[in-house]
Amino acid sequence: MKAALIVQAKEIRDDNSIVEIVVWELAEPLPPCTHRYKYRLFFGTPDACFVRYDNERGKGDHRHVGGDEATYVFTTLDALLADFERDVTNWR
């Protein structure tokens, strides 16, 4: 199985902020993750990142809120999207 794009969406809001969601399903997990998703969830502007959830080889699942970065405990894709939406809604 090759990587399959599950969702790719981008919204530019009236205040010029951007919400972008990209999720791929992989043939096997991207170490050290145990799930088969590669994702990038972004909220910010072209010049600033307010909220970002992503995973990368060697680093695993994590999130950025403002200038802080923390490990993210991935449970399900639905929970990931809900957590991201909550952080975007509560930003500021």
Rounded-to-integer distance, Cα 59 and Cα 52, Å? 14
Element (H, E) at 33: none
- SS3 label, residue 27: coil
Do 42 and 16 meet the contact criterion of CB atoms below 8 Å apart?
Answer: no
Q: How large a percentage of the chain has pLDDT more than 70?
A: 99
- SS3 label, residue 83: helix
* pLDDT, tens digit, 9 for 90 and up, residues 19-65: 999 999 999 999 999 999 999 999 999 999 999 999 988 899 999 99
**Single pTM value for the model:** 0.91
In eight-state DSSP terms, residue 65 is: E
Handedness of CA 68, 92, 41, 20 (dihedral sign): negative
pLDDT on residue 1: 65
